[in-house]
Structures are given as C-alpha cells and as structure tokens.
Amino acid sequence: MNRPGPAALRVRRAVQAWDRAHGTGGPVAVALSGGADSLALLTGVLAAGLDAVALTVDHGLQDGSAAVAEAAAAAAREAGAMRTEVLRVAVEGPGGPEGAARAARYAALDAARGRLPVLLGHTLDDQAETVLLGLGRGSGARSLAGMAAWAAPYGRPLLGVRRADTRAACAELGLTPWEDPHNLDPRYTRVRLRTEVLPLLEEVLGGGVADSLARTAASLRADNDALDALAPAPSEADLEVEAVAGLPAALRLRALRTWLAGRGARALTGAHLVAVDALVTDWHGQGPTAIPGGSAGRRLQVHRTGGILRAW
C-alpha cells in the first residue's frame, strides 16, 4: 500500500480514539464488505497497531457475490489481517430484503467473532441518514439518538468521519473498493435519503446538515443514557399500574419499553408505546393494545385488568 495521506490519518486517529474510549488495545474483528467504508476501517485498525480478523459476509443476493467476498478477503490478507473468513448466509425471513439481510449478517458476525468485538464501518453520513429515518418515522428520541459508538459486541469508530474521507483514504493507499450497486438503487429508502434528501437539505439550509444531525444524535444519546439510568426496569410478568403511573412521561415510557421487551415485544415504535401508555394514563375501560411480538407475524396483546398490565 501507499503511504497514508490526510484522509487515511483521520481514519487511523478515529480508530485510536475509539480504542482509548471503548477498546482494550487487543485484537478486533472487522466486518469487511470490500466497500470504501469497511476497507478504510480495516486499514485504520491495522495502522493503529491493532490485530484484526476480517469477516466478510456473502449474502448471495447478487451475481458474482462470492467473487466479491473472496476479493475482499484477499485485500484484507494483503493489508495484514491476521485471519480472514468469508461467511455465507441465506437471506430469508421477515423485514423485507433489507431487514432479512441485516438479520442474517449480524447473526453470522456474532457466530464467527468468538469473543472479539466487531467493528463496523458506519460513518457520520450513515449516522445522519439514521437520524432522518428516525425523525420521519416518529419513533422518538431513542431513534433520533442514532447509532452508538459502542453497543457490545459492536463498535463504530468512524461515526465522526465523513464518507468522503473513507473514499479518499482508499485512494491515498492505492486501494480499489467495491462499489455495491444496491447503494445506488432508488428502491431503497436509505439510498433516496443519501442521494436526494440530504443533498437538498444541504442546499436549502446552506450546508453542514449531516454534521448537525450527527451532533444531535450524540446529544440525544447522552440524554437517553441518563434517563435510562433513572427509569425503573420492571421484570415481573405482571406490571402494577401504580408502579409507573406517577412517573414523569420520559421515565414511564422507558419503564414500559423495558417491561414489554421482557414480554417478547420487538420493533416497538413511538406509536406502540403511546398506545400502551394510554392503558396507564388514559384508562376508560378500553380493550387490549396489539404490538409486534417475539416471532414473525406474531402480535402481543397488552391488557389492563384490575390495575394490572399483562401481555400475552
């Protein structure tokens, strides 16, 4: 590889800062697609002096995907990864192609990582897109807080690095990243955010939108962490309404989210929580509220009976 330039140095410093805050200085696994973000991340990890295992997931969704995965693994070996592995998965199940692929990818990474943390190549631009998605879906401060730099076992060292920098870093190092055609497919909501919505916002608001959205996420994440620490975490199957009715809304909704998750709820939105909260704060004998359950196609029914909430 060529000598690092300014962009590659920014990537390396971001990895070093992440490792000081969240790592141990020990080996890590890197989720490597072969694209610019993950390839720059791997080179930054190695330049920071960390040993790396490169894990490449072949979703099998495109012609030639096996060759792309093998090329990514070869690039990792040449860069100096101590081990590489190609993980072939079957993409099936709920959530549409994007959701099913994501679930298969994370399951494969978790199974292959051993005890190592897995570093992901999400950038500041990805964070901005995530915040916009959460805003559009009305799913509350938790979604607007975006992605965490560390949520065991996954780390995201590049949340302060622009996508343009990962591309520039690859160019400086003489690396040719893979260009995923899905990243230009307007059928995907995130692609339209990236190619249409964010550029328009940058134009209308005079620039700096992506950075501002990322700062908003960081601020809300700090607020969320503080409120989560204050909120009770009910674990009993039955929840007494009096135990949460007197809490401020910010804490009450968090307590309800924790309780529902313990009952098998998944993919909760702000609307789901508001509906369950009405059983506590606006009770007038209404029937049960349905929320997504713990398996595909299943719905949990949340009932209030005699001052008790139950979900089944």
CA-based radius of gyration for the chain: 22
Asked if residue 210 belongs to a domain, the reply is: no
In this prediction, residue 294 carries a pLDDT of 65
Residue 235 labelled as part of a binding site: no
Asked if residue 61 belongs to a domain, the reply is: yes
Same domain, 238 and 298: yes
Residue 36 labelled as part of a binding site: yes
Asked if residue 289 belongs to a domain, the reply is: yes
Angstrom distance (rounded) from CA 224 to CA 252: 13
Asked if residue 200 belongs to a domain, the reply is: no
Residue 38 labelled as part of a binding site: yes
Residue 185 labelled as part of a binding site: no
Residue 71 labelled as part of a binding site: no
Same domain, 166 and 263: no
Same domain, 28 and 167: yes
Asked if residue 145 belongs to a domain, the reply is: no
Residues of the chain with pLDDT under 70: 1, 94-95, 139, 294-297
Residue 33 labelled as part of a binding site: yes
53-73 b/e (C-beta count within 10 Å ≥ 16 → b): bbbbbbbeeeeeeeebbeebb
In this prediction, residue 99 carries a pLDDT of 80
Same domain, 285 and 175: no
CATH number at residue 28: 3.40.50.620
Angstrom distance (rounded) from CA 132 to CA 206: 17
The bridge status of strand 308-311 relative to strand 239-240 is: antiparallel
In this prediction, residue 52 carries a pLDDT of 98
Same domain, 73 and 169: yes
Report the sign of the C-alpha dihedral through residues 19, 23, 27, 28, in that order.
negative
In this prediction, residue 295 carries a pLDDT of 62
Same domain, 165 and 250: no
Asked if residue 163 belongs to a domain, the reply is: yes
Name the β-bridge partners of 311.
302
Asked if residue 195 belongs to a domain, the reply is: no
Asked if residue 264 belongs to a domain, the reply is: yes
State how many domains the chain has: 2
In this prediction, residue 100 carries a pLDDT of 86
Domain that holds residue 66: 6-121+157-184
What is the token pair recorded at 140? Answer: 């509350």
Angstrom distance (rounded) from CA 34 to CA 71: 8
pTM tops 0.85, yes or no: yes
